[in-house]
Amino acid sequence: MELTYRPRRLRRTPALRALVREHHLSPSDFIYPLFVHEGAGNEPIGAMPGACRWSLDGLVAEVGRAWELGIRCVVLFPKVADGLKTEDGAECFNEHGLIPRAIRRLKETHPDMTIMTDVALDPYSCDGHDGIVSAEGVVLNDETVELLCRQAVAQARAGADLVGPSDMMDGRVGAIREALDGEGFEHVGIISYTAKYASAYYGPFREALDSAPRASGGKPIPKDKSTYQMDPANGREALIEAELDEGEGADILMVKPGLAYLDVIYRLRQESEQPIAAYNVSGEYAMVKAAAERGWIDERAVVLETLLCFKRAGADLILTYHACDAAAWLRQG
């Protein structure tokens, strides 16, 4: 065959492939999600093999392990006791609550680790929604935003470096930015869940936090979060959300879930100069773990390929439960 250009020339050896590789993974790309609870021990999460609800002592040890592997950011999610859950989720801004105490403990023991938090009501709500549910069964936007601002300030006061509003209420990024600045926390960044979809991939996460929507007090409770999270059918809408979040002061934009929404990550990368994060969510993690346990896939190969694909789509940062495993595999080469 008389071919002028043969792409296989640059695939012939490992050294040649490495030479022209377009994207690379590093442990510093990862944000490691961690669940924390009030118990004295660590509790394995059935739907997420390898993941735990960490005690405060266990959390400190796990964050230390992550740091040694080269991970430089963790995000904290609380398993809140049922007795502390209320319709307004007021425990979310208790400055002596679980997350503020966890932040302070980590800043004492691992001061250089970047601490990200979750800003939403669902772990604290007896209704299981990210916002206040009215007597008529409507998730209230503006009333919820007021509480989210108080939550973000409480987390910042405890020492959070980044707050992550995951609730998808309209206008919350700007309100949180104003609240943080007003309390002297101009240095605290906002990593906004910009395009968070009403996805079926979140099931294991809701088991981990016991935070799924549920009937409460006889009032109607929306069975899902589709009135405030995005419709999985929509891609262009993500650009609207991104423009709004940027204008309101978001420092980093996030797409959640990640794997089934690579096109959305790519769209945001083409339209925005802001850092883009992808959330490799619990359902994606659980599917890989389940297949690997059955010997159907090579876990290491699939995980590293998946994470690399987030980078190729345009993500700068990846929230992933695989973070420590992936960091260790990258170190091994």
User: Catalytic positions, please?
Assistant: 196, 256
Residue 71 CA to residue 69 CA, distance in Å, equals 6
Per-residue DSSP letter, 82:
G
83: helix, strand or coil: helix
Residue 314 CA to residue 271 CA, distance in Å, equals 11
- Taking CA 278 as the corner, what is the angle to CA 277 and CA 284, rounded to the nearest 5 degrees? 160
Longest alpha-carbon distance in the chain: 77
> Crossing angle, helix 299-313 and helix 262-271, to 10 degrees?
30
State residue 67 phi and psi, 5-degree precision.
-60, -45
107: helix, strand or coil: helix
* Type of residue at 228: Y
Q: How far apart are the first and last CA of the chain?
A: 37
Residue 301 CA to residue 305 CA, distance in Å, equals 6
